[in-house]
Amino acid sequence: MPTFKHPCPYCGKFIDRAVAACPYCGQSDPFAPKRCQNCRKIIEDPEWVTCPSCGQSLIAPPPAAATATAGTPAPGAASAAPAATAGPPGGAAGAQAPPPPRPPLYKDPEPAAQPQIPAGKCSGCGAPMAAGARFCTVCGTMAG
């Protein structure tokens, strides 16, 4: 009997639910609940950044930092270390300028300011008043 495939929660590719690891992203036991790497408590909310039980960070460190300890590289990391630190000759390794900002695809046109046409003069101060104005903007006298 054929089985239905389910999307991997980590990469989205459709895989069999009984796999031990996702063949696309390599995540071991992708359908098991996520657990803290330190105390193995089940992480109930994927939005959590620290474990509520032990306080360990739930954000995965970069792979190079996870395999190497303070000053001594892991056995498999020795060959990858020179390639990671190699940069342009005479320049800083990995220091690149951010790309320039892209202009917006569509910009709403700004409405043109409509000039106010004086329709009359204020009876109190004589200042020009716009058409349909009920009060003078200079002295506050009611039009009428």
41 falls within a domain: yes
Q: Which of the four pLDDT bands, split at 50, 70 and 90, describes residue 14? A: very high
Per the domain annotation, does 88 fall within a domain?
no
**Average pLDDT of the segment spanning 137-142:** 84
In a domain, 75, yes or no: no
- What total of structural domains would you count in the chain? 2
Q: Is residue 79 part of a domain?
A: no
Residue 40 inside a domain? The answer is: yes
Residue 22 sits in the same domain as residue 38: no
Q: Are residues 38 and 26 part of one domain?
A: no
Both 19 and 38 in one domain: the answer is: no
Domain-embedded: residue 118: no
Q: Check: CB of residue 122 under 8 Å from CB of residue 108.
A: no
What value does the mean pLDDT of the chain take?
73
For residue 93, being part of any structural domain is answered with no
Q: Structural domain of residue 26, as residue ranges?
A: 1-32
Lowest average pLDDT, out of 2-6, 78-82, 114-118, 138-142, goes to 78-82
**Does residue 51 belong to any structural domain of this protein?**
yes
